[in-house]
Structure 1
Amino acid sequence: MSVFAVEYVYAVGSEAARDEHRPKHREFLAELGAAGDGLALVASGPYVDGSGALLLISAPTQAALAETLAKDPFAVNGTIAALRISEWSPVTGELAHHA
């Protein structure tokens, strides 16, 4: 299992759509792994400047994670302009047990 840093860059002018779909987006994130697919949310939250968000997700593969993230209500409803997924190794600190 690997940990991935996922960066969402929000689409310009998507504030109203994000507000509308935020409850379903958060529900989607909270349910990661419920299907027995090996995914688990480690942490997530928006950037303070409103430009996007950072999500840390444990997943078996980057491909499986990308496939799942395509179903995020934010993605489905066009609020994400760019997505970056990077495998990350938390070797020290409070999240090191996820490595």
Structure 2
Amino acid sequence: MSVFAVEYVYAAGSDAIRDEHRPGHREFLSGLAGEISLVASGPYVDGSGALLLLSAPSQAALAETLKNDPFAVSGSIAALRITEWSPVTGELSHHA
């Protein structure tokens, strides 16, 4: 299993859409279990996007799963970046 840093960049003018779909988005993320699971997530303070840390068997499997995020389905995400990450020190190092 690998850990991936996922960066969401929110679509301009999508505040109301995100507000509407936030409960479903959070339920989707917290419901991930098994091969793909949530390590941590949260929005950037400036409202431009969010950072998600997820454990997954592959980048392709993670990308396919994230297509079902209500934020993605509603068109709230303008850009998505998935990068494999190795947390070698700190509180998340047990995920490495």
> Taking structure 2 as the reference length, what is the TM-score of the superposition?
0.99
User: Structure 2: any 5+ residue segments left out of the alignment?
Assistant: none
- What letter is aligned with 2:94? H
The alpha carbon displacement at 1:61 in A equals: 0.5
Match of 1:22 in 2: 22
Of 65, 71, 74, which residue of structure 1 is paired with 2:62? Answer: 65
Counterpart among 49, 67, 77 of residue 80 in structure 1: 77
Dislocated runs of 4+, deviation >4 Å:
none
Q: Secondary structure at the match of 1:28?
A: helix
The alignment of Structure 1 onto Structure 2 pairs a total of residues equal to 96
Secondary structure of the residue aligned to 2:60 is helix
1:83 to partner: Cα distance: 0.1
Residue of structure 1 in register with 2:93 after alignment: 96
Write the distance in 2 (CA, Å) between the matches of 1:39 and 1:12.
29
> What do the CA deviations read for 1:45-86 (whole angstroms, capped 9, x no partner)?
000000000000000000000000000000000000000000
2:53 maps to 1:56:
yes
Which blocks of at least 5 consecutive residues in structure 1 are unaligned?
Answer: none
**Normalized against structure 1, the TM-score is what?**
0.96
Partners of 2:93 and 2:37 lie apart in 1 by: 15
Q: Does 1:10 align with 2:10?
A: yes
